[in-house]
Structure formats: C-alpha cells, structure tokens
Amino acid sequence: MKMTYMIGILLVFAWPLYYLYELQLGAVSFLLLAIFFLVVSVKETKKLRLNKEMNPERQKRQKIKRNNR
C-alpha cells in the first residue's frame, strides 16, 4: 500500500475516530486503527513473500556475492 493512500485513509477517518474518542469510546477507535495497521502489515508481508518466491535466481546471486566478500 502506498504511503500517500495510507495517509489519505488516516486523514479521512481522523474525524470519526476523534468523535469516538470524545464520546469516551477511545478503545473502539484504537481497535479500528489496530485492525487497519494489521491489514496493511499483512498486505506488505504477503507482497514481500511473493517477491521473494518469484526471485530465487536473484537470491542465489546475492548469496554468492556475500560469500565472495
């Protein structure tokens, strides 16, 4: 997820989350933020894992370079 999209989403939801905080429901807004960042981290991890699986030849080259040092 691009950083600009993430910041945009946080800005759009800032007012409703603050409204929940004002109504003494801060735990709900915290839970929603935690779920949001969990989803973002799962997407990033999945993307990194797929990238790692798609480039086994590249990893072999990097491993050889490390061993030559």
Per-residue model confidence (pLDDT) at position 39: 93
Give the whole-angstrom CA distance, residue 59 versus residue 53: 10
Residue 15 identity (one-letter amino acid): W
**pLDDT tens digits for 8-24?**
888 888 888 888 888 88
Q: Which pTM was predicted?
A: 0.63
Per-residue model confidence (pLDDT) at position 64: 66
Residue keyed to tokens 């949001």: 36
Q: Read off the pLDDT of each residue in 46-60 and give the average, rounded to a whole number.
A: 76
Per-residue model confidence (pLDDT) at position 35: 93
For residues 19-44, b (16+ Cβ closer than 10 Å) or e, as one string?
ebeeeeeeeebeeeeeeeeeeeeeee
The percentage of residues in the chain with a pLDDT greater than 90, rounded to a whole number, is 17
53 versus 8: the higher-pLDDT residue is 8
